[in-house]
Amino acid sequence: MGSIFSAIGRGINAIISAIADVIMTIVGAITTVIVTIFDVIMDIICCRCGGTRRRRAGTRRGFGGRRRHTTTTTY
């Protein structure tokens, strides 16, 4: 009699574990999609904001590279 209840208990445990695994997989997939969307949005925002800063910094360096450095000699 005890083995019958044990087998039923193991069967219920297996079903609950399978349902929990499916739910965990679904939650993991949804989380991955949300994080990926958030990363893409942040990449777009950072490229727009950071891109103009980088261009300005590059042009400043360009002007600095074109300047002539004159040396004065004293006798």
39-25-27 Cα angle (round to 5): 55
Q: Look at residue 37 and give its three-state secondary structure.
A: helix
Query: Is residue 15 one of the residues assigned to a domain?
Result: yes
Residues of the domain holding 20:
1-37
Confidence check: pLDDT of 26 > 80: yes
Q: How far is CA 66 from CA 18, 53, 61, 62, in A?
A: 69, 20, 9, 6
What is the reported pLDDT for 58? 47
Mean pLDDT to the nearest integer, 35-43: 92
Q: What is the tally of structural domains in the chain?
A: 1
- What is the average pLDDT across 24-52? 88
Per-residue pLDDT tens digits for 7-19? 999 999 999 999 9
Is there a domain that residue 57 lies in?
Answer: no
pLDDT above 80: residue 50: no
Average pLDDT of the chain is: 79
Residue 69 belongs to a domain = no
In a domain, 21, yes or no: yes
Is 68 inside any structural domain? no
How many CA atoms are closer than 13 Å to the CA of 55, on its beta-carbon side? Answer: 6
